[in-house]
Amino acid sequence: MSGMNSIVVHNLSRHYGAVQALNKVSFKVKTGDVIGFLGPNGAGKSTTMRILSGIMPASSGSAWMGGTSVAQFPAAVKNKIGYMPENNPLPNEMRVAEYLRFRARLKRVPNKKVRTTVEAAMETCDLARTARRKIIGTLSKGFRQRVGIADALLGDPEIILMDEPTIGLDPHQIQGIRALIDQLRGRLTVLLSSHILPEIERCCDQIIIINQGSIVAQGTSEELRREFLPGNRYQIVYQGSTAALNAILKQQCYPIITLSEHCSAPDEKTRVIDLADNTRQHLQILIKAIAASDTIAMTSFAPKDSSLEDIFLVATKRSWDLKNEKEMQLVRL
């Protein structure tokens, strides 16, 4: 295995009876990178996390964590990773420092290093001054998540797995977790799953999208934009006839895909379109045609960046369409 990759997954599959939760999942994560793992509910994110952490065996395929086979040496892998599961189960009756000391001993941190190890984890997670003596059951959701991350950091892991670390948090708490993850970049390899797409885009070096148990996209945000939304996106803000605008767009000789439309203000509508052609002449023709209409008052026509949410929707929709197409082919046979 290459020393440049902390996580190597090859053709990983998992079955629950007749249900296939994972189907030949393969990806690699470079050492020190922060990777976002995205997918709808039931896509296979948590199953993948459990297999990588050694909690659950794969039905087939292989996974290597820090150069060690998960299937062959699960105990050794557990010494290399820190795992924060979804919903972060914590004992409500224990104090923060007490719980982390207990967890450090379970992870076989030498007795003479338990205190310094726990202090370092609490300092990283901003718990040392604010919550060390607090009872866990009295903590806010944001601080409970910090305790879970501090737990994952104990034992000097090489890799951190976080399953939905920002679930249920308010915007301020999410910012705090994002800042914490930024501190780990370069020091540790981090694989985290989340439904908060803007946060994934802000804090992750690479993005992996999984749907129906299969990887449907992976790469940087820019690479995914080029692959799934290669057109040129524009936003039109206007008042007046939607039918008239549709007619103008239909008249253009280049393909134009309407991505969304909504009312942004009373009597004002916003249309987002994707243009397959971006020549200055084509844009000028389109803008002039809209401006010349008697039933449309255009407020603005401006470029619009694609969001990770747009990419996610296109990538998952494509995978559903491919599945439906294959099923129709089998029916025809």
Position with higher pLDDT, 20 vs 275: 20
Residues 103 and 238 in one domain: no
In a domain, 92, yes or no: yes
Listed in order, strand segments (DSSP E) in 55-165 are: 60-65, 68-69, 81-84, 159-163
Residues 193 and 248 in one domain: no
In a domain, 328, yes or no: no
| pLDDT attached to residue 71 | 94
Number of domains in the chain: 2
Q: What is the mean pLDDT of residues 32-60?
A: 92
From 192, 226, 260, give the residue that closes a domain.
226
Residues 219 and 241 in one domain: no
From 226, 245, 278, give the residue that closes a domain.
226
Residues 187 and 161 in one domain: yes
| pLDDT attached to residue 2 | 42
Q: Which domain holds residue 174?
A: 5-226
Residues 86 and 184 in one domain: yes
Residues 135 and 203 in one domain: yes
CATH code at position 79: 3.40.50.300
Q: What is the mean pLDDT of residues 228-235?
A: 77
* pLDDT of residue 94 exceeding 80: yes
* pLDDT of residue 143 exceeding 60: yes
Residue 25 in contact with residue 210, Cβ under 8 Å?
yes
CATH code at position 292: 3.30.70.260
Residues 236 and 208 in one domain: no
| pLDDT attached to residue 260 | 58
Residues 205 and 177 in one domain: yes
| pLDDT attached to residue 278 | 59
**Per-residue pLDDT tens digits for 173-186:** 888 888 888 889 98
**Per-residue pLDDT tens digits for 242-292:** 888 888 888 765 555 555 566 666 678 888 777 765 566 778 888 888 999
In a domain, 94, yes or no: yes
In a domain, 31, yes or no: yes
| pLDDT attached to residue 265 | 65
In a domain, 331, yes or no: no
Q: Which long-range contacts (CB under 8 A, 24 or more apart) does 88-92 make?
A: 88/144, 88/145, 88/147, 88/148, 88/165, 90/136, 90/144, 90/147, 90/148, 91/136, 92/135, 92/136, 92/137
For the stretch 184-203, what's the b/e string if a residue is b when 16 or more beta carbons lie within 10 angstroms of its beta carbon? beeebbbbbbbebbebbbbb
* pLDDT of residue 63 exceeding 90: yes
Compute the mean pLDDT over every residue in the chain, rounded to the nearest whole number. 86
Residues 131 and 200 in one domain: yes
